[in-house]
Structure 1
Amino acid sequence: MITLKTQAAIAVLDDIYTGEKTTRTNKYSLSEEDRCTLLSKLTTAGIIQLVDLAKPQEIHSYIPTRKSMDVSLLDILEATGEHLNCNHPTTEIFYSKYGNAAKKLGIVNQITRTYLKEIKLFDL
């Protein structure tokens, strides 16, 4: 439901907000180029700010610009240019990984799938 790039952005933000090394980010095996692109997009969107100009490629060179409770999934999707993938039903793995957020996203996924099912080729 959430693309891998969006999941990576969430991991990067989590590491920035918690001050962890790169615990969650490392699980996504981002190339340096992908990590830099992601950091740039999140900075441009005003979600994070670069504070160590000498190391713009490092996650620890960034700080949040607002409280985590004020950053929505929509903010992250708009910053990264990603989307929700509603082509498949929500899986149990997704529910176990994202908890309460997965419940809300599961509803969005199901509603979207229901509406998409009603749009027929003839309508297009």
Structure 2
Amino acid sequence: MLSKRTQTAISVLYDISSGNALQSVNFLLSKGEWKELFDKLEKGRLIRLLPNKESGSLSSYELCHPLTNISLLDILEAMDDPIRCNTPTSETFYVRHSQMAKKIGVLNQVARTFLAEIKVSDW
């Protein structure tokens, strides 16, 4: 349901909040992809560059708000990413994102149910 880019952004925000400067090693991004991700999170006012730091690494940023105040909607808007609800939520998603996966799974199923009720003939 969530793109790899959105999942990466979530991991980056979590890593910044926890002080983990390993640059979300689970996600292999090119230098340009990291720059784009940081730029979007900055424009979305989710992170800011620390004074006297060079952009491009997790240790150069801080969150603009406490992690508990940043919503999935905030991230989706900053990343300008769609939600893909045209497939059921996979088991691996539940394993990878345990706490939030239940809510995302419900959202996905509700969206799928509503979409199934919109018939082309009703257009």
In the superposition, the TM-score normalised over structure 2's length comes to 0.92
Where do 5+ consecutive residues of structure 2 fail to align? none
1:27 corresponds in structure 2 to: 26
CA distance in 2, matches of 1:56, 1:48: 11
Q: Where do 1:87-106 residues align within 5 Å?
A: 87-106=86-105
Answer whether contact 2:21 2:57 (CA < 8 A) is retained. Answer: no
CA distance in 2, matches of 1:123, 1:22: 51
Where do 5+ consecutive residues of structure 1 fail to align? none
Q: Deviations over 1:47-99 (max 9, x none)?
A: 11101555211221001111110000000000000121101111111111111
Query: Could you say what the CA RMSD is over the residues aligned between the two structures, in angstroms?
Result: 1.4
> Which portions of structure 1, spanning 4 or more consecutive aligned residues, are displaced by more than 3 angstroms?
none
In the superposition, the TM-score normalised over structure 1's length comes to 0.92
Answer whether contact 1:12 1:22 (CA < 8 A) is retained. Answer: no
Task: For 1:5, give the aligned amino acid.
Answer: R
1:18 corresponds in structure 2 to: 18
Q: Deviations over 1:17-69 (max 9, x none)?
A: 1111225x221101111111110111111111101555211221001111110
Instruction: Give aligned pairs, total.
Output: 123
Answer whether contact 1:6 1:77 (CA < 8 A) is retained. Answer: yes
